[in-house]
Structure 1
Amino acid sequence: MHVRLLTGVLVWSLAPGLWTAPAGAAVGQSQPEEAAAGRAEAYRLFLQGRHLENQGDIEGAVRAYQDAARLDPESGELLAELSSVYARRNRNDEAVAAAREALERDPENQSAHRILGLLFAARASERSGTAEDARLAVRHLEQARETLLSDYNVELTLARLYLQTDAAQSAVDLLEELQKDAPGLSETGMLLARAYEHVGRVGDAVTTLEQVVAGGRPSSRVLRRLAELYGKDGRWSDAVDVYERAVELNPRSARTKRELANALLRADRPARAREVLDELVTLRPNDVYGLYLLSEVELELRNFDAAEAAARRLIEVEPEGMRGALALAEVYSQKREHRRVVEALAPLLENATDRGLRPEQVAGLLGRVGFAYEQLQEYEAASRVYERGVELMPNSLAFGGRLAQAYIDAGRPTDARRVLGGMQEQHRGSLTVTRLEARVLGDEGDIDSGVALLQGALRSRSQQPRAYLVLAAYYGHYERFDEAIDLLESAANRFTDDTSILFRLGAVLEQSGRHMEAESRFRRILDLNPEHAATLNYLGYMLADRGERLDESVMLLERAIEADPYNGAYLDSLGWAYFKLDRLDRAEPLLQQASEQMAWNSVIQDHLGDLMLRLGRYADAIAAWERALAGDGHEVERAAIERKIGEARRQLERQ
């Protein structure tokens, strides 16, 4: 066994006093005796340094290596060994200085390059690390690689640096070569999969990790990464199987259990997801990520009280965080309690700066609060929220479009036009902008110009169903139903299985009084998707309102509510069907709930008034009809409601 000390002139042997000349030197060539004696003493000090370090005498070892380096001034390896001693004791500045001095003596010294590369790589991985640290690490490690046998640590560190410095293809080349030399190493497979992802070869990334998993006993980290890639590809059932293995391998990992629960939820297995999370939060009751996910799972299971409880527990655990408020707001949103959404999120917006919220977080909150105000028909409040959104993100199509829509709904077309004018340059050709411009024209009385604008947009988007829907909605808004029907019939022939086209066509046919044709379109949708909640509601309500096939109507509407149990429109529809069946005890709670949720909806208030009249509760009937008159006025006859109010008052006076 030999320890080789590369001096640039000699290769030292462990046999004392012996040396061999480097390649190209004449064997037996004499050297000055003094130099030979110096090298021999340097070698003795080198061995002494090794011994002292092994005995724990670090300072003694350092002095021995320093003395050896002075005696052999051409040796870079002695200084590289000194650098290694410093590095092993985390004396990194001294290690760098010694390694650099070694390279001054021997620019190709691989030991010095290795130490410098690893030291600079460690610096680059720290928060204070710089791009220059990474560049130097790459330069030195590339030179340290030029050995007959691969240094696994050097190879993997260099691969990580390539990924860090956007040189993913270099990482792929290096790791593919390393995997051929040493197949089956999980760390190599992990990095190679990551490199494949960086260069867009996701399929190869999956295959690589599958091979690692199949090749032996994969680590929990490998399993989690493979499951994550399955999830990104929508293969949630496969992801669940792999996450289950990862949990078995590391049952104490809360993170892995959360990832398993999330995969179960996406794989449409919420009940099993809840089991996993219940176990997690029982063991770790303050696990904020687990509580947030548990609230989401309970919502998926329609356990609204349990979802709210998990959200409130999260707020207790993390009172200054935003996750709990977001989870609670989501519960309220699904329950259509939009006022409570505002109340839950408004404090976050008021203290956004103090909480250190990022702009994208503030934008998300603004979007939720603005939408809640829109659902409450409070368009001025919505516009103020969206104004703040536009100020935060001036080029956002979403905020600009929603602000313009809020202005339109608030009866402020001039302000809407101003916003849209500012969006033209950034979003030229956007169908959203064109739709809103047409609406402004229509509300100002120039309906035909709006039609022309949208027809032009349709000509350039004839392969996009949304372009047909936008123009059809415009026709419908201004009660040009025949044109809407012709357009949608054409679109339905082109996009035969598009449920959005069929639904809009069915709705316009119903609004035109063509009920049989409307029913045909709705039943076509249910053939394609038997659980299409909006269609179940529309068809069920259409039958109930006409007093036809009321038992079927109830069945359809109950299915709609099963999918969306707090939807006020659906609750009103089912309540109206029960009213038509004269099952007033079943109708009342449904119509009351719908009335409270959608106080601005004139039709719903009219329905409740009719129920109260039938029950002989005349004062309640009058109050409901007065709300109908104060509401949006859609699809009601004011004169008819006023007559009903008059009759109820006369009945009230007789009591």
Structure 2
Amino acid sequence: MKHLTVCTLAIASILSFFLVSGCIKGSRAPGLEQSGSKILNQDSDFQASYYYLMARRHDSKDEADQAQKAMEKAIAKDPGSNFLQREYIRSLQKQKKSDQALALAQDLAEKYPDDVENLILLARLKKGNEKDITILLERILQLAPEDKETFLRLGKVYMDEGMNLKAMNLFSRMASIFPDYYVAHFYLGETQRMADQPAAAKDSYLKTLELEPDLLEPRFQLVDVYKAMGEKKNKAEIITVLKEILDFDPGDERALIELGLFYYNTKDFYNADEIFASLGREIRKNPDLVVNIVQLLIPEHRYQDAATVLSQVRKVLPGNANINFFLGMAYESLKKPDQAIEYYLKVTPDHPQYKKTILSIAFLYRDMNRMEEAIRFLEQHHRQSPADIDITSYLASFYQDNNRDDIAVTMLQRALKVVPKNTALLFKLGAVLDTAGQRQQSIETMKTIIRLDPTHASALNYLGYTYAEMGIHLDQALELVQRALEIRPEDGYITDSLGWVYFKKQAYDKAVFYLEKAVELSDYETVIAAHLAEAYLKTGQQKKAVAMYKKALDNARQDQKEEIQKIEEKLKSLKNTVQ
């Protein structure tokens, strides 16, 4: 027997602990692989274990490079170890080397297709292709039918993919295998609620709370279920559940809002006023609470509920700019522009969203066909803030829409004397000059923008499209639009420009290719769809052309009178040629 130093004995002792107990549940440490009953006294296994422990030590000190090198040495000593391969993959993942980790995990899973831990590791690393992930998770459940993590992940994938029946069956099976696991019952309730089975969902949520009484989320879901089963019939249950939540956490904003709304909607105004007044008093102490209220309701498209809560809270704080701003937003979302303007006008200049408020009011006036009011309103704020580029730009657009191009040009030129290199104002000026019939000046303005900013995709596209429309400099037009598309590859309007340049160059097959892509990206915008129809005609596809012209006509806006007239004339001329 060889003489062992104290240090060697200590290492051996530590190693024996890891080797016998294992570092990960269900895994075998180096030297105890499934492939054979190796033992520690083999030199290569000892060295593999040593390097593995060194890797763990470096990892605990956040010494990523040293940890990786140690793991590589461990694998070199025991290349058949699944355990070491998995640990190495995890270390790569921790270092954010995701692609390398995924590639190794795929190789490992292919080499050992029935090793559950390898498959689970691969499933954790896989992203993107939900079909592949689903197949992988289903395979894991076949091999390990009681793996909770896989049950949950597969169920969520089914739910995300809209396969609710599959998800429900899966969680039902999970709940029967793990009857005391509250998560299984909760997700079963979620799928039952989505399947419009409120009574079954209620039982699942109640079972969840029986197993884990302190949970709040199942109680909120119960409230929704009781409402679905009839608010009047279940009024007492709804109030009881919301009060239970408030017993756990008296400051729970969501529960307070839902209880206040429930009282208000069931015309129990006394209790509703009490809750909303208390919310108002809390907002006075904590102004950020307004944002919390909005975040609970607006993302869920509960605009009427948001308007109700904020208008009731406003009784306590009528001058609160945040409340007025979000009330304006709520009413704007409800398509009630008069009420939106009423509250937007109460927002004070010190509010961080004051300019957005000003612009929102102007656009609301415009959308209500009150263009003169919109212009007067923006003119007033332009006089107050003549250096504000956004207000200047939008006011110029309003002048342009109102056929007052000369005023728009003068105002933009005046603003550019202060900021001559502002590309946003220059672009607006170029566009207005174009509609005013000063095309050459527009072209020169776009060239100026490109000299100032060679990556200005809008200017590149505008100039290229202008050349195409004029039928000049088509090679340069192609180069300009291609540069723009490199910057914004998924822009439907730039893609349309590229197709239109090819159309003008009489490369009609290429034109069709890009214009078909453009209509998809732009959701069949009228001008783009009409371009595609013309390209179809040039390639002898008359039936497709007629269908596309009709699509263009269906999507036309009221202000596109000229385009509508052209399309109607085209359809009339094609009526007798296409049967």
Question: TM-score, normalising length from structure 1?
Answer: 0.44
Radius of gyration: which is bigger?
Answer: 1
